[in-house]
Amino acid sequence: MNEVLVETLKVCHRHADRLLWALSELERHLPFTGSKLTQLSNVDLAILDQFTTRFGKLQDLMGAKLFPAVLELTKESVELKAFIDKLNHLEKLGAIPSADQWLLMREIRNAFSHDYPDDPDLQAAVLNQAVELARQLTEVLTGLVDYIQPYLCLEVSKQS
């Protein structure tokens, strides 16, 4: 079995579990507003940091390592060099629901690198969008695991 894929999936699941935990801890504050953000406790701010960090790490890892590993496992890499081509191919195969949705998740991840300390309303808007996309991000991971399951079974049977 592809060791890189297995290790990547383990780390992805760790990020997803911690992302969903942070999201569940933040539920009582949803939807965020600029006013709510300025009143969060230090503990809630730390949980919010956990949420944004895990969102970014999961999104990065899936795009950088998991998607290429899935294409390799399924023998579908067909010399795709541009990331958008890989996304479109994964969508065409049914491995991910939408390349455009993935690009939106990437935009949100990039927005986290801009703190907007003087604009809590803008922070709140980005975070509210990230909350919905975080659920979708974990669903993409689950869908990918379901998609590759038959290929993993083939790999195991070839080794036997």
Answer whether residue 35 shows pLDDT above 60. yes
Residues 44 and 136: their CA atoms lie apart, in Å, by: 23
Residue type, 36: K
3-159, CATH topology level: Four Helix Bundle (Hemerythrin (Met), subunit A) (1.20.120)
pLDDT for the residue 91: 95
CB atoms within 10 A of CB 101: 16
Please report where in the chains the tokens 């297995």 appear, as a residue: 6
pLDDT for the residue 157: 40
pLDDT for the residue 159: 44
> Which of these ranges, 97-106, 137-146, 148-157, has the smallest mean pLDDT?
148-157
Enter the DSSP assignment of 31: S
Please report where in the chains the tokens 């808007």 appear, as a residue: 125
Would the pTM count as exceeding 0.85?
A: yes
